[in-house]
Each structure stands twice: as C-alpha cells, then as structure tokens.
C-alpha cells in the first residue's frame, strides 16, 4: 500500500518530555467523499476508522488507524482515542 502514510504519536510524560505512545496510519479517501467507504484500508486485519474530514486546513477526507504500541490503551490496541493519555 504505497499511498499509506505512517506517523508516530507522542504525548507528554510526567516531566513534560514527549514520549512515544503509538503509531498512526492514514490514507486519503480516493474520491474525497464522506459518503463512501469502498476504499477503506486495513492493517493487521483491522479496518481503518473513517472516512472522516481532515483535522486541519488542507488535510483531505481520509481514513486513519491508531495503534497504541508503546502506551497501553484500556479501550484496546486499535481504539481511536486513549483515555489514559492527555495532550
């Protein structure tokens, strides 16, 4: 999947330093539509969340998947949000 974007998720620790908490996979929706999901990707057999609007100016309609590899998530390894982390 060459059009898959991978990013690292960081959050501040108790000392205010950033620590790695997980990985974020992102893929732009082929048609740029919130109404269709025919191109929904998956990683590790887990479908991405979305399609969803961009989170900032210029960010396209996309799918994403958070993987909480470095910080346990009580909601699960692939949950969208981790209540144990505050930004």
In the structure, what pLDDT confidence band is assigned to residue 36 with cuts at 50, 70 and 90? confident
Region at 50 (left for phi over 0; alpha for psi -120 to 50; beta for the rest): left
Burial of 81 (0-12, 13-18, 19+ CB in 10 A): exposed
Spatial CA neighbour of 72 closest among 18, 10, 21, 15? 21
pLDDT tens string 45-70: 999 999 999 999 999 999 999 999 99
Domain boundaries, the chain: 1-55+65-87
- In the chain, pLDDT over 70 holds for what percent of residues? 97
DSSP 3-state helix, strand, coil percentages of the chain (rounded to 5)?
Answer: 0, 40, 60
Taking all residues of the chain, what is their mean pLDDT, rounded to a whole number? 92
């Amino acid at each position: 999947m060459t059009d898959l974007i991978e990013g690292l998720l960081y959050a501040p620790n108790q000392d205010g330093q950033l620590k790695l908490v997980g990985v974020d996979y992102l893929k732009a929706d082929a048609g740029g539509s919130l109404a269709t999901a025919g191109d929904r990707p998956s990683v590790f057999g887990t479908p991405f969340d979305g399609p969803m609007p961009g989170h900032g100016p210029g960010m396209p309609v996309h799918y994403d998947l958070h993987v909480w590899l470095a910080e346990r998530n009580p909601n699960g390894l692939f949950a969208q949000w981790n209540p144990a982390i505050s930004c």
